[in-house]
């Protein structure tokens, strides 16, 4: 058996790969930002004690976490289409990924809130901090700081999971690969390259989150605690 690898024909298409990688990153960034917002709101709702809000949040989290992303994407895609409005694939992909990661983020941030000792809030009250001040400096930021590593890993996994949106023809990295391999008949080379590209993207994201963590949590930077 003679194995004959030829990366030349694939590498010629580098502009397509770059545009696919950019779309993958765009999807990841949009879903990360919106997902964090949903996560904070969801965590507040789940801890609010309000009977309706708690249940709605719990239903959202459980239904998303116990069904595959692929099926969620199809549901959003065909659900939006059945409204009679035609959305571009990118919008559908971003919406589905946001809804998906929002549920995981809710759980992670909730764990962060749970980890804030009550005495710390009482101490802040004793120091006559205002309610918003307490909420931001004593509850929110330390909670996010505690779960920051878990959050960032989740977002890297989200970036990888965005490959599934190729199934509704969002033109991200995996979709580009599918197109190029069907054009060049060089499937092995194409997917190896794309796998390497994903590893590189996840390293880039990890580095970015590390830098962001240094900026966001100066206390930790001063103490030298690793993120």
Q: Which residues of the chain form contacts with other proteins (CB under 8 A)?
A: 1, 3, 62-63, 65-72, 74-75, 77-79, 81-82, 100-101, 104, 108, 111, 147, 150, 153-154, 157-158, 160-161, 163-164, 166-167, 174, 177-178, 181, 185-188, 190-192, 194-195, 198-199, 202-203
CB 35 within 8 A of CB 102: yes
CA distance 149 to 144: 9
Both tokens of residue 72?
């969620």
Q: Which is nearer to other proteins, 70 or 129 (CB)?
A: 70
Whether 100 and 161 have beta carbons less than 8 Å apart is answered as yes
Query: Residue 127 CB, nearest distance to other proteins (Å)?
Result: 30
Q: How far is the CB of 131 from other proteins (least distance, A)?
A: 28
3-state secondary structure of 206: helix
Q: Which is nearer to other proteins, 45 or 102 (CB)?
A: 102
Closer to other proteins by CB, 135 or 191: give it.
191
Which C-beta is closer to other proteins: that of 127 or that of 203? Answer: 203
> 91: part of which helix (H) or strand (E)?
helix 89-114
73, two tokens? 């994407």
Q: Least distance in Å: CB of 158 to other proteins?
A: 7
Cα distances from 136 to residues 67, 78, 115, 205, 222, in angstroms, run 34, 39, 15, 26, 20
Smallest distance, Å, CB 160 to other proteins?
Answer: 4
Q: What is the dihedral of CA 87, 161, 157, 192, to 10 degrees?
A: -130
Shorter beta-carbon distance to other proteins: residue 39 or 124 = 39
Closest CB 130 distance from other proteins, rounded Å: 31
């Amino acid at each position: 058996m003679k194995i004959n690898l030829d990366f030349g024909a694939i590498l010629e298409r580098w502009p397509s790969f770059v545009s696919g990688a950019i779309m993958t990153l765009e999807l990841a960034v949009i879903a990360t930002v919106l997902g964090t917002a949903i996560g904070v709101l969801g965590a507040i709702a789940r801890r609010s004690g309000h009977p309706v809000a708690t249940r709605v949040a719990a239903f959202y989290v459980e239904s998303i976490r116990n069904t595959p992303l692929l099926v969620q994407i199809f549901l959003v895609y065909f659900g939006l289409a059945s409204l009679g409005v035609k959305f571009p694939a990118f919008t559908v992909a971003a919406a589905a990924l946001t809804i998906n990661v929002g549920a995981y983020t809710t759980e992670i941030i909730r764990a962060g809130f749970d980890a804030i000792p009550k005495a710390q809030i009482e101490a802040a009250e004793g120091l006559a901090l205002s309610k918003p001040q307490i909420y931001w400096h004593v509850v929110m930021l330390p909670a996010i700081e505690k779960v920051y590593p878990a959050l960032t890993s989740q977002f890297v996994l989200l970036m990888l999971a965005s490959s599934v949106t190729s199934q509704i023809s969002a033109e991200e990295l995996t979709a580009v690969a599918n197109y190029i391999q069907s054009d060049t008949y060089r499937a092995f080379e194409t997917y190896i390259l794309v796998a390497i590209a994903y590893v590189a993207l996840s390293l880039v994201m990890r580095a970015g989150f590390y830098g962001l963590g240094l900026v966001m949590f100066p206390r930790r930077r001063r103490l030298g605690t690793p993120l």
